[in-house]
Structure 1
């Protein structure tokens, strides 16, 4: 909603179908995006993304970029591409940029395993000619005082899925299993349950 500045009628591509990605899908949908496209290599994550509002899903960024160029005409690509991958390497950023249209916003929400890795290598002159924006975000660039009450209201009205995000609960003694499941992409969100 905030970092990608999604507005009514936009075409949005979300790359990475984990917890951050499906919430980016929800945010784009709630902001009025015309199309919200999820890209992930895991078919189970694509199926989950449709439950959270993705209008189309693809297992490859090339296929998603081709589809976006077909539907978005003169813009020539997505209005916003949001990268939410668990290990954001240079090839992922480059592929995401390849789907970006004129005046598009490329948002990096997924981090690399090595936080000092140089994973952004893009054609600067094209960015200038096409008036594109690249930015990073943490927590969706939210303002908790403004956004938490809004999110709670959306949840109460049934417009925001939160319960569906929790795919498994772990006891504190099973926390290492929870981290392993997170690394392997076995669940959307695991939580440590008290008691």
Structure 2
């Protein structure tokens, strides 16, 4: 029984393998070389020029925070076009469907801690735009964390909720086994909402603390 192989379950099994993204893309490039050579043989230098233009165009789409902000990058629903998500979130705040304290405290905490801990070479050099405009942060801050049923009812509690969710999001992104921590951080903070409401409940006028 000791010689039987053991099954290892991880959040992302491919991260434990010997294949990295550069190695995989290197194999893709090698596989495309014969097709490029044959296309150049059939259509002449125009095929090579068109290929270079296409590669350069795709490369340019992923550079700069502007592309992340306007949604010119790939991603799941709710992860692209932070501008539209912010716009709809502001509309909800203006019409007072959601409270502004949770999105502001959530996004502000992620921006601060992302700048402090998000760098690869040390502290205080993280890419704030990358932390804010990629992943599901904007969707979570405006639409998930502000759910009326699972968010605190007091103003002070909403500040605590947003800050706690922001701290958990950055910690999961930076040190956790998952690249995104928005959903998990909101779910974890939802568990604490009854306690937050109890701690931040305003005292009734004339109430005397029990001895």
TM-score relative to the length of structure 2: 0.22
The structure with more strand, counted as a fraction of residues:
1
Structure index of larger Rg: 2
Structure with the higher fraction of residues in helix conformation? 2
